[in-house]
Structure 1
Amino acid sequence: MSVVSLAIVGKNNTPIYLREFDNVDAIDEAELFGLSLSTTSTVKQACSVRQQFILHAALDKFEQLAGPPPACAWRAPGVTGTDAMLVGFLCPVDDMRVYGYMTTTQIKFLLTVRDGYHEDIQKLFAKIHAIYVGHILNPFSPLNAPISSNRFDQQIQQTVNSYNESMM
């Protein structure tokens, strides 16, 4: 199993962080359709349009599960800690599955993985959440704004790489 993409979504469903990790066959969508404005463009999106579509569709399912009452039915009674934050499986797409995690402050984490479920998904979400909290605790990082920190990106990349290596 490997992590394909990650989305961190704010309270108002605005994307805070989008990242694709499984980008072996990446083709710039502008180049694919001949819409590129420049032949020397080196800037690539952090997440392909396909992965953005998958994550957006999963966010709709997330809202059904975690939205207004009778929401939070996915939580078992009396559960606390990170167990209370894991929403779990949201939807299948091709050979991938999308899982969700929501913090007590209504920040949503969506993770697309290849090849099914593994019990360590919850630990991975907890590590990503800890990295996010570390970023937010920085007094110079704006709240609910897109994350553009190289340090945050490197920490997420290292966490996902170590998770992917442990699953092989």
Structure 2
Amino acid sequence: MAVCIAVIAKENYPLYIRSIPAENKLKFHYMVHTSLDVVEEKISTVGKALVDQRELYLGLLYPTEDYKVYGYVTNSKVKFVIVVDSSNTALRDNEIRSMFRKLHNSYTDVMCNPFYNPGDTIQSKSFDTMVSGMMLQAC
């Protein structure tokens, strides 16, 4: 079950964070921000190894006792982080990839909105509905 989904700007500030249950909101904010160090490390090692690498999915960033944190980075260096409950063993790597693709497509729709100012927090109802659906679908 996805318990937290976050969109982080190129400059490492949150554009969107949604987590369930709501009482652990601060815990998930901390978990997302600590994962950014791993994301930066993976981006720098991939950038040195293969300059023309088009793989946006970073895979498992780190596991904890209760959660697994996955990462994805766009070509414009916007980062997506999904925190999944460790007890959900039915969730496979290709399902995580499809969740990130769906999140990226919805983020692109938000960016194409002429009333959205890039860099502002995402307050789109359709984006929020899509994220809620992803969190419930992953249950």
Task: With the length of structure 2 as denominator, give the TM-score of the two structures.
Answer: 0.86
Residue among 34, 39, 57 paired with 1:86: 57
Unaligned runs of 5+ in 1: 28-46
Once the two structures are superposed, the pairs formed by residues 1-168 of structure 1 within 5 Å of their partners are: 2-20=1-19, 22-23=20-21, 26-27=22-23, 48-67=25-44, 71-72=45-46, 80=54, 84-115=55-86, 118-119=92-93, 120-162=95-137, 164-165=138-139
Supply the RMSD in Å over aligned alpha carbons. Answer: 2.2
What is the one-letter code of the residue matched to 2:115? F
Q: 1:60 to 1:150 in 2, by over 3 A?
A: same
**2:46 touches 2:53 (CA, 8 Å); kept in 1?**
no
Task: With the length of structure 1 as denominator, give the TM-score of the two structures.
Answer: 0.72
**2:3 touches 2:135 (CA, 8 Å); kept in 1?**
no
What is the one-letter code of the residue matched to 1:112? V
Unaligned runs of 5+ in 2: none
The runs of at least 4 aligned residues of structure 1 exceeding 6 Å deviation read 74-78
Structure with higher helix content: 2
Q: 1:75 to 1:5 in 2, by over 3 A?
A: farther
